[in-house]
Amino acid sequence: AQKVTQAQTEISVVEKEDVTLDCVYETRDTTYYLFWYKQPPSGELVFLIRRNSFDEQNEISGRYSWNFQKSTSSFNFTITASQVVDSAVYFCALSEGNNDMRFGAGTRLTVKP
Amino acid sequence: NAGVTQTPKFQVLKTGQSMTLQCAQDMNHNSMYWYRQDPGMGLRLIYYSASEGTTDKGEVPNGYNVSRLNKREFSLRLESAAPSQTSVYFCASRSTNRRLNTEAFFGQGTRLTVV
């Protein structure tokens, strides 16, 4: 079965610092999908990005950027100039061709003013 | 647009009681999922259903049963609740067919306490 590892349990930064959240995955499938979700203190799950295994282009959306590297099985997420509102738990997830979708344990990000 | 609707939002059970968590989606998605979230352990997949009439075990299926009643509804049943099943439960749905493969859309969660 596939596996997602988010080795950083908690990260604390000061506002305006850049921060990178790591995600490493394991899969035997050649077709798969990777996701990032944000869970703010209110508890809902907010979708951030989806990437399929055939698309290794990096993506930037405002202060958010994602670096997908198949060679290292990583899909890392960078927040530039962090803000207090970025404080949340961030989850990386992997779905293989059988539609099974597994999440990592999450990284709790705290941005201090 | 309701999206994914879970009921109830909160529930307290006594050990040994049974209950069913309901989930319905109105996005015509083929795949549906049940997860549990415990502190420090992320979201763990209990069961999923890739299409109406099919269900598969996830990481932590023991103590649970599911029913994909139709394309819209996917219920999770606890036959004999145990304190270890105290958790927040999330239902999700997504489209996973060849023409369209989307992200998962989540319900608001059910906070279950077993005493």
Are B40 and A105 in contact (CB < 8 Å)? yes
Model pLDDT, residue B107: 97
Of B35, B96, B108, the CB nearest to A99: B96
Q: Of chain A residues 7-26, which have a CB less than 8 A from chain B?
A: 9
Contact A104 B31 (CB under 8 A): no
Q: Does B50 touch chain A (CB under 8 A)?
A: yes
Q: What is the pLDDT of residue B15?
A: 98
Choose, out of B10, B31, B43, the residue to mutate when testing the contact with A (most A CBs < 10 Å): B43
What pLDDT score was predicted for residue B1? 65
Indicate the pLDDT class of residue A56, thresholds 50, 70 and 90.
Answer: confident
The pair of structure tokens assigned to B22 is 């309901």
Exposed e or buried b for every residue in B37-69, given b needs 16+ CB within 10 A? beeeebbbbbbbbbeeeebeebebeeebebebe
B89–A contact, CB cutoff 8 A: no
In the DSSP assignment, the letter for residue A106 is -
Tell me the two tokens of residue B1: 């647009």
Please give the pLDDT value at position A60.
Answer: 87
Place B41 in a pLDDT band, splitting at 50, 70 and 90. confident
- Considering only A10-24, A73-87, B90-104, which range has the smallest mean pLDDT? B90-104
pLDDT tens digits for range B12-34: 999 999 999 999 999 999 999 99
Q: CB–CB of B73/B23 below 8 Å? A: yes
Q: What is the pLDDT of residue A57?
A: 83
Over residues B81-107, the mean pLDDT reads: 91
Express the helix, strand and coil content of chain B in percent, nearest 5 each: 5, 50, 45
Nearest to A35 among B33, B103, B109 (CB): B103
Check CB contact under 8 Å for B42 and A45. Answer: no
If you measure CA to CA, which chain B residue comes closest to A47?
Answer: B103
State the amino acid at position A97 in one-letter form. Answer: G
Q: Are A11 and A107 in contact (CB under 8 A)?
A: yes
pLDDT over 70 for what percent of chain A? 100
Whether chain A has a CB inside 8 Å of the CB on B110: the answer is no
* A60 vs B73, residue with greater confidence: B73
With an 8 Å Cβ cutoff, are B101 and A52 in contact? yes
Chain A to chain B Cβ contacts (< 8 Å): 56
Burial class (CB within 10 angstroms; exposed 0-12, middle 13-18, buried 19+) of A70: exposed
| Token reading at A22 | 């790591």
Highest mean pLDDT among A10-19, A92-101, B36-45, B92-101: A10-19
Check residue B91 and give its pLDDT. Answer: 98
